[in-house]
Amino acid sequence: MASEINVGQMRVLVTGASGLIGKAIEHVVYHEGGKRDGEEWIFISSKDGDLTDLGQTKAVFEKFRPTHVIHLAAKVGGLFIHLKENLRFLRENILINDNVLQTAHETGVTKVVSCLSSCIFPDKTTYPIDETMIHDGPPHESNFGYSHAKRIIDIQNRAYFQQHGRCYTSVIPTNVFGPFDNFTAENGHVLSAVIGKTYKAKQEGTQVNVCGTGNPRRQFTYSLDLGRIIIWALREYKEVEPIIASVGVDEEITIKEAVHMIAESLDFKGKIHYDTTMSDGQMRKTASNGKLKCYLPDFTFTPVNEAVKMTCDWFVANYDIANK
């Protein structure tokens, strides 16, 4: 399925722009020359309107009148908040996505790029996973609420194309990290949570407690790299079907390797303790970026150790404003 897109005068609304990926897109647009002539970019957060509420969503679209939308707004978090709040992840994300996509359609938005996640793929599968496999079996139990809500975006995109010819599409990131992440121990994803915990342990001269065995494997993608890909997708990617936006399968590392990169970046010399009573979550979800590489053969990802170092440096330099 491919649709014609009219790129020229664009008023781009970025929902969820105060978060990790929104901040990365804002950086690319304003500090890497990402903004082109004829483009206007609008970055909004929940302060501009609660997108779980249809009336507030309509008011946001009436106020900003976008022609294009990058839809990032979502209830997001690491493994441990998912384990506690599957229902909330399911309901809030279903509401946000339905309100945004339907309002975009009703107000004539030409293109929407939404974010899925590699955790939504079937848990029992063959590797590497690719874009054709999203609906092939149940997702991992730890985040089934979020995963089903995200899968429905893909169904909605196909339905908006079938019934209305809309080019509403999605990208599928793997684990993302970078400046402006959620560094809290309770709700953060692994890299940001462990950065926050390691920094604190260094200040207090204590050990770092890492959850689980450290054996699960993840593909970690730097938020700035993802921001560049999402902007490309908004302008150039014409398929309704999703595209995996991630470092390649060869870049996959264990949690333990990631923790060691953090310790090195923060110059932490203390003890690292693995609490094996805590969940490992999904052991792997290795995803192929082969489709992306066909479209963008020259795209280079920031090596994970360099990106971890830059994120640690950002955290230390911005400790006062970081969400920790």
When the beta carbons of 49 and 216 are compared against ligand GFB, the nearer one is 216
Kindly list the distances between the CA atom of residue 57 and the CA atoms of 87, 156, 191, in Å, as whole numbers in the listed order.
22, 17, 32
Q: How far is the CB of 286 from ligand GFB (least distance, A)?
A: 12
Tokens of 140: 């991992």
Tokens of 12: 């781009």
- Return the closest-CA partner of residue 72 out of 47, 46, 91: 46
Residues forming the site for ligand NAP (CB under 6 A): 16-22, 45-47, 50-52, 72-76, 96, 115, 117, 173, 175-176, 182, 189
Which listed option, ligand NAP, ligand GFB, none, makes contact with residue 20 (CB within 5 to 8 Å by class)? ligand NAP
Q: How far is the CB of 306 from ligand NAP (least distance, A)?
A: 18
When the beta carbons of 66 and 173 are compared against ligand NAP, the nearer one is 173
Q: Residue 243 is inside which H or E element, if any?
A: strand 243-245
Task: State the Cα–Cα distance between residues 196 and 185, nearest whole angstrom.
Answer: 7
Which listed option, ligand GFB, ligand NAP, none, makes contact with residue 210 (CB within 5 to 8 Å by class)? ligand GFB
The DSSP letter of residue 207 is -
Which listed option, ligand GFB, ligand NAP, none, makes contact with residue 179 (CB within 5 to 8 Å by class)? none
Task: State the Cα–Cα distance between residues 200 and 290, nearest whole angstrom.
Answer: 39
Q: What is the CB neighbour count within 10 angstroms for residue 259?
A: 22
Q: Identify each DSSP E strand in 16-110 by its residue range.
A: 39-43, 68-71
Task: State the Cα–Cα distance between residues 143 and 93, nearest whole angstrom.
Answer: 12
Q: How far is the CB of 190 from ligand GFB (least distance, A)?
A: 3
Which listed option, ligand NAP, ligand GFB, none, makes contact with residue 281 (CB within 5 to 8 Å by class)? ligand GFB
Listed in sequence order, the residues at least 6 apart from 56 whose beta carbon sits closer than 8 Å to its beta carbon are: 49, 50
Q: How far is the CB of 269 from ligand GFB (least distance, A)?
A: 19
When the beta carbons of 12 and 210 are compared against ligand GFB, the nearer one is 210
| Residue 295 falls in the annotated catalytic set | no
Tokens of 111: 């293109």
Task: State the Cα–Cα distance between residues 94 and 103, nearest whole angstrom.
Answer: 14
Given the residues 146, 160, 168, 199, the one annotated as active site: 146
Cβ 175 vs Cβ 218: under 8 Å: yes
Residues forming the site for ligand GFB (CB under 6 A): 78-80, 82, 117, 119, 142-143, 146, 175, 185, 188-190, 193-194, 210-212, 216, 218, 255, 278-282
Which listed option, ligand NAP, ligand GFB, none, makes contact with residue 289 (CB within 5 to 8 Å by class)? none
Q: How far is the CB of 84 from ligand NAP (least distance, A)?
A: 16
Residues known to be catalytic:
146
